[in-house]
Structures are given as C-alpha cells and as structure tokens.
Amino acid sequence: MNILFFSAQSYDREYFTRANLKTSYNLRFLESPLNVDNTALIKNEKVICVFVNDQVNAEVIAQLKEKGVELIALRCAGFNNVDLAAAAAAGIRVVRVPAYSPHAVAEHAVTMLLSLNRKIYKSYNRIRDNNFTLAGLEGFDLYGKTVGVIGTGNIGMVFCWIMLGFGCKVIAHDVYENKELVQAGVVYKSLQEVITEADVISLHCPLMPETKHMINRESIASMKKGVILVNTSRGGLIDTVAVVDALKKGHIGALAIDVYEQEEHLFFQDFSDTIIMDDVLSRLTTFPNVLITAHQGFFTREALTQIAEVTLNNIRCYSEKKELTNEVK
C-alpha cells in the first residue's frame, strides 16, 4: 500500500515511521499542502493522508478521482476542510481520527486560560529582564467563577472535568447532554444563557455551517464585560474582526486562541523573516491580553502516537475491506 502524506512535518515522519513498523506500508512524505495546484504530486498512491489545513474541496476531489485516489485519511479529528458530499459522489471514502488524547487539547485550553489570567507569558519575559515587580500581573481566582463550555464531546468533557476540579461553576451548551457531567454538577443551558452568564467561555464544538461565527457582534454584546474567551476548536467559530473590536472596547477582557480563521495561510510555517500581510492577525498580536498559539493543542507525545496508530489502522481496515468505524460521511 502506497500512502502519500501532504503537509508533513518532521514529527509526522517520526511518529508515522515508528507506527508503520507494524504495517510496513510505503509512506511518502511531502511538506507541500494539498490544494488544487498540487494534486500532480500524487503518483501511484491510492491513499492520501492530510491534515487540518489541506484543502479538500470539490475541485481537488475531482482531481483526486482522476488520479485514482480511493481513500482520504485525515490525521486529525475535524473534517470541516473536506467536501464530504463531493467525496461521496466521487466514490472516495474519508476516514479520520475521532479521538486522540482529548486530554491534550483540553489541557492546552486550560494552559492558555491560566497563562492569560495569571499573565505568565508576561512574567516570564519580565524576570528575564531582571524586572521583579508585580504591577500589571494581577489575575483572578478561577475558583467559584462561572465557566461556560460550548460543546461537551471528547475534548469539552475533559475540559469540564478539569474546571470542576478547580472549583468552578461549570455551565455548558451542547446538542446532547452528557449525563455523567450533569451528575458531576455541570448545568446545561441554552447557548444564549451560557454566553450571557459565563466569566470564561471555552469553545469545543466543531465548525459547521450552523456554528460558523457563533461568536459574533451580537453574541459578544450579551457577554459579561471582561469575559475571557478561549478557542482551541476551529478559527471559524469566531468572527475575529468583531472580537478585535470588542477587545479594543474592553468588552472582551482577554482572548486565548489556538486556531484562527485564516490559519491555513500561516500556521505550521516559519515566517520570521517575512512581513505578515494578515492585518487582523497582526492587530491581534499587538494586544497585551491576547495569547495565540499556532494550533498546538494536539501536540503531545500521547496524541501524536495515537494519531499515527489510528490513521494507519484506518488504512489497514480499508485495504483489508473491513468495516471503517472511523469513516466520516
């Protein structure tokens, strides 16, 4: 079985090469992303392996079909970058890694929240400058605060458990209620109620047409003044321009994002010698109360191991004509 990897980084090579000791497939790694200009790079591979920012739209899928691709193996959970209807029409099947250490992403969300609230990113730099003062580093106790969680699937659920452990009041919104969380004290509410009542809001639902820009001018207007907003899910959940305005007015107290609407043009690449042309992101980086990481929520040893093993197992199931339990339709 020949498998072509797009957007491959050094860690993809490392973890997939190790996981492949069990399967011995022919793996070919390309740094290039998959997009409409790059499908010519596919030679004789029936399986391609893609990541979060590869563009798998209808045009690309038509080219994949011509190239004889039969399976798109996503090495991630989210599949908003794949036109599933076009894939189905082309007879190309799509598999993903539905859960790989939800703890990795949930813990990253908590890391960002704590760092932002307690200004750890500022004190790190201050101490290196021999400045041992505290003014400007004030935070607040999370204990007793209301934390709103939107989406309580694999990752949101772990985030809820951690926040409950901190002694927070956890309110949540999801299309399904998790009974275990309810028993533990999480109170499910409407989206509007969660947005209105929370001191901290953390997003853990998928990006779909109905969730795009769920955080917008209108919803921000009903948030508490000074709310902390955390997004480790997908950039498109937030209308970033509206959030920038709310940060300028002080309505949003602080923002932590691991994902960004236009991240496919920037994330996972080094532009340290270049002028960034994205003015919204550049504006965001000027705020002292905004913390940005470049989609690293998943980036733990445990998650990378899981991703590689589950992806290769998905491909093995396909090649052996077994049931594809991780298929997305």
Q: How many CA atoms lie within 13 A of 313 on its CB side?
A: 12
Q: Token match 């919104």: residue?
A: 173
**Looking at 122, 206, 213, 316, which residue binds ligand NAI (CB under 6 A)?**
206
Site for ligand NAI contains 314 (CB under 6 A): no
Query: 3-state DSSP call for residue 67?
Result: helix
**Looking at 33, 102, 148, 235, which residue binds ligand NAI (CB under 6 A)?**
102
Pick the catalytic residue from 234, 261, 264, 309. 234
Site for ligand NAI contains 78 (CB under 6 A): yes
Residue 210 or residue 273: which is nearer to ligand NAI going by CB? 210
Cα→Cα distances 149→109, 187, 242, Å: 11, 10, 20
Sole window of 137-145, 174-182, 265-273, 321-329 interacting with ligand NAI (rule: CB under 6 A): 174-182
Distance in angstroms (rounded) separating the CA atoms of residues 116 and 70: 44
**Looking at 64, 173, 186, 201, which residue binds ligand NAI (CB under 6 A)?**
173
48: amino acid identity, one letter: I
Closest-CA residue to 172 (of 199, 144, 143, 202): 202
Closest-CA residue to 105 (of 256, 262, 264, 311): 256
| Residue 53 · residue 33 · CB < 8 Å | yes
Site for ligand NAI contains 154 (CB under 6 A): yes
Site for ligand NAI contains 152 (CB under 6 A): yes
Site for ligand NAI contains 295 (CB under 6 A): yes
Site for ligand NAI contains 139 (CB under 6 A): no
Site for ligand NAI contains 176 (CB under 6 A): yes
Site for ligand NAI contains 99 (CB under 6 A): yes
Mark whether 204 is an active-site residue: no
Pick the catalytic residue from 75, 93, 173, 295. 295
Bridge partner list, 147? 170, 200
How many other CB atoms are found less than 10 A from the CB of residue 204? Answer: 27
x/- letters, 230..269, toward ligand NAI (CB under 6 A): --xxx-----------------------xx----------
Distance in angstroms (rounded) separating the CA atoms of residues 148 and 169: 9
Site for ligand NAI contains 317 (CB under 6 A): no
Site for ligand NAI contains 105 (CB under 6 A): yes
Mark whether 251 is an active-site residue: no
Closest-CA residue to 147 (of 205, 195, 191): 195
Residue 211 or residue 306: which is nearer to ligand NAI going by CB? 211
| Residue 2 · residue 28 · CB < 8 Å | yes
Sole window of 20-28, 144-152, 182-190, 222-230 interacting with ligand NAI (rule: CB under 6 A): 144-152
Site for ligand NAI contains 195 (CB under 6 A): no
Bridge partner list, 47? 3, 71
Sole window of 130-138, 205-213, 220-228, 277-285 interacting with ligand NAI (rule: CB under 6 A): 205-213
Task: Give the angle subtended at the CA of 300 by the CAs of 298 and 301, to the nearest 5°.
Answer: 135
Query: 3-state DSSP call for residue 188?
Result: strand
Distance in angstroms (rounded) separating the CA atoms of residues 104 and 96: 17
| Residues that are catalytic | 234, 263, 295
Q: Which residues bind ligand NAI (CB under 6 A)?
A: 77-78, 99, 102, 105, 150-156, 173-176, 204-207, 210-211, 232-234, 258-259, 295, 297-298
